[in-house]
Amino acid sequence: MKQPEPGKDRPQTDAHKRRKAFIFGLRAESVAVLLLRMKGFSILARRYLGAGGEIDIIAVRGSTIVFVEVKARASIEEAMTSITAEKSRRMSRGARHWLARNQSAAGKTWRGDAIFLSPWQWPRHAPNFIELDIS
């Protein structure tokens, strides 16, 4: 009986699927970073974790700090609908945590942005797409 070639006709394990998803997410975030830099933003943090919250990218331009969620899906519309209320809460917790540790951000404007990616389409930056509860 012929053995399958490596990587072909083998069922993917859960660990393999998670690794592929992780790499896909990192690539999407790298594209989002490039887009933000082209728009004049400086990147302050990537994949920020703190106090039960997470933020894909934290960037600044002028007096505005943006907390950015990156979503990559089969279509832009699917990516746009994938941000849930729970995700907004987690981003808000992460933003509060980051702001508490970065006192220089106190006098700036804060915003919850999203960047949506889909194969063969330009990335879409949606300023103020996510309502952050930072009070």
Q: Which helix (H) or strand (E) holds 2?
A: none
Q: Where are the domains of the chain?
A: 14-130
Strands 64-72 and 109-117: parallel
Per-residue pLDDT of the chain (135 residues; tens, 9 = 90+): 555 565 555 567 888 888 887 787 788 899 999 999 999 999 999 999 988 888 999 999 999 999 999 999 999 999 999 999 999 999 999 999 999 999 989 889 999 999 999 999 999 999 999 999 987
Number of residues that make up the chain: 135
pTM of the model: 0.85
Domain 14-130 class?
Answer: alpha beta
CA gap 117, 125 in Å, rounded: 9
